[in-house]
Structure 1
């Protein structure tokens, strides 16, 4: 009996200290508006739970600072910074840590994560992490997933990523990594998913990844790799699915769908699209006199700016235009001025900043989708005067949070 009592006393004292530290840490984190979730599955007799309290049988499993785009309510202040991360040292059983959208988190702050031995997933997208600080987390035994999208990560960080033998999932999109850094990833042999979207990687860098035999998915969208480079990689890692956007040599098609001066009907247009195996369709509105064409959808279409502009001449009442992943560009935008278009999707097209200035000629434009294009904050500035806009999307572009904030301030309805 004495042994049992002594053991219980030791456990209670030790656990009390842990619980006290955890409670203080959680309070500090929640004051910074972090969301902390707990694992409460620890088994214990009900009488013991009632005697000492439920907090003795739960531990923090995830901490999330990314909600509300990493900002404290009603302010532009980041929820997390390097100093904030010190409270994590008392949460040794955290498995998932979400630090995304907090630019004030830098390499220095990562030193506070060295005690998180159960950490398996770490999100560092849109932070200030450049790379040297990854040394502090490179030996975490359970870390398998990590994201640096839109952070200033450079080749200095890849030295440490390459030493993470358990790493299976990594996103390095929109970072500053180069071909020279890819050689350091050879040691990350457990990698199954790797994304390098919108980086400057070329065929030379791709060759350094040929030793990653467990890769199942490699995203090279918007990089400088070529068809020859991808084919070489596929021979080395045949089971890996590679995503690219260089079009495999596809060029815009200037061929007109109909003879000059012919104004096609909706039925004729849909029949022609089906004949050419083009993924698209037009729709009419029978509630409007004359049942005009009000909607046009063309997905993955290789028609040129000139061809599409000619086609649109038959659609003066057009309200919705979806050209997702088409080969249209700035010349097309310059030519659609004055239309009644309300919704315009240019996702994955060749549109640039130079073309966006022409959108001001669309007086009824309410929704605009520019995801997966090469636009920057300079292009967003061209949208400031389009006060009719109430829905704007530009994910996977080269824009910044500052550019987004300025656009929101300029658009009263967004």
Structure 2
């Protein structure tokens, strides 16, 4: 065969080769594009995912109820669901109720009311956050039907002392948060029958020193009563050699003369929050003798200076001192 006869065939093979390369390249490009689209879809889904291990925080999101419905449908075995600040209403609660294994549910700042809580009565919930909702004492009837409830956050709700009395029947309730509610000393008194109670948060409520009288026998691990009428006199009178490890007294009428009472009240205290009180450098140095102390917060205490905090840190390098409020 002559060279002239072979040339066209070579050109044909060359053209076929080029076409083949282009086809393969196009196929590869298309494949990567599809993979990228799939990855994008997965990323979009993960932004609102509710899984068996965790759920993404949707706070401030603009996801509508249809989206939440879809998420719930795709995660029937979820154990942790965070719907805080999403447009969740009572109408959506039957859908949430389909999560039969749910143990932690965050509905803070949602539009759920007393009526919507009846749908979660059957759930094995151990943690429930209803802070910032319109829930009132009436809705707590549903909560009392959840015997596994351990931590309940009712901050900034319409709950009163009457509601607290209902909650006392929960067998394993260990943490109650009612900051910014209308409860008083009587509400805490009703919780004395709750033998598993370990932490009470009553900041910005109507409690007084009498609250400490009722809290003292409860063998609590933590008390946070910031911005209340609790004073050093109450600590001195009602708290003696307790097992408290954490104590929150921010914005309370506490001064240097009350520091010895605090130390005697909780000899094993590890965290003290006393921001915006009358404690000064002198009181801070008294606290340095409390060897169990691991963290002390004294933000906005006018009597505490930079020199005072430096001196404290030199004496107690093992204790963290924080000079800002949370």
TM-score by length of 1: 0.46
Shift of 1:115: 2.0
Deviation of 1:165 (Å): 0.4
CA 248–199 in structure 1, closer or farther in 2 if over 3 Å, else same: farther
Offset at 1:176?
A: 2.1
> 1:127 Cα deviation (Å)?
1.4
CA pair 30-112 structure 1, distance change in 2 beyond 3 A: farther
Query: In structure 1, what is the Cα distance between the partners aligned to 2:284 and 2:324?
Result: 22
Runs of 4+ in 1 over 6 A off after TM superposition: none
Max Rg structure: 2
Cα distance in 1 for partners of 2:297, 2:48 equals 41
- Secondary structure (helix, strand or coil) at the match of 1:83 reads helix
Distance in 2 (alpha carbons) for counterparts of 1:82 and 1:178: 31
SS at match of 1:160: helix
Task: Report the equivalent of 2:281.
Answer: 273
1:130-166 per-residue CA deviation (whole Å, 9 max, x = no partner) reads 22211101111x2211112223322232111111101
Equivalent residue number for residue 191 of structure 1: 173
Distance in 2 between the 1:136 and 1:146 partners?
Answer: 13
Query: May I ask how many residue pairs the two structures share in their alignment?
Result: 223
Query: What residue in structure 1 maps to residue 107 of structure 2?
Result: 124
Deviation, structure 1 residue 65: 5.1
2: CA distance, partners of 1:252 / 1:164 = 39
Task: Point out which structure has higher relative CO (alpha carbons under 8 A, 6+ apart).
Answer: 2
Of 243, 251, 254, the match for 2:224: 243
Alignment of 1:13-412 (within 5 A): 30=44, 33-37=47-51, 61=52, 64=55, 66-67=57-58, 69-71=59-61, 78-79=62-63, 81-87=64-70, 88-102=72-86, 104-140=87-123, 142-235=124-217, 237-239=218-220, 241-245=222-226, 246-249=230-233, 251=253, 273-274=281-282, 277=285, 300=298, 347=325, 371=326
User: Displacement, 1:205?
Assistant: 1.3
Structure 1 distance, partners of 2:197, 2:208, is 19
In structure 2, C-alpha distance between the alignment counterparts of 1:240 and 1:133, rounded to whole Å? 32
Once residues 98 and 199 of structure 1 are traced to their aligned partners in structure 2, the CA distance between those partners, rounded to angstroms, is 23
Q: Distance in 2 between matches of 1:29 and 1:215?
A: 41
Aligned 8 A contact 1:175 1:199 in 2: yes
Give the RMSD, CA atoms, in angstroms. Answer: 3.8
User: C-alpha displacement at 1:116, in angstroms?
Assistant: 1.3
Q: Write the distance in 2 (CA, Å) between the matches of 1:64 and 1:301.
A: 33
Change (3 A) 1:251 1:152: same
- The 1:346–1:200 alpha-carbon spacing in structure 2 relative to 1, beyond 3 Å, is farther
TM-score between the two structures when normalised by the length of structure 2: 0.57
Check 1:154–1:190 CA distance in 2 against 1; reply closer, same or farther (3 A cut): same
Matched residue, 2:266: none
Q: Which has the higher helix share?
A: 2
2:84 is paired with a residue of what secondary structure?
coil
Instruction: Name the CA distance, whole Å, in 2 between partners of 1:275 and 1:242.
Output: 21
- What is aligned with 1:391? none
Q: Distance in 1 between matches of 2:96 and 2:82?
A: 12
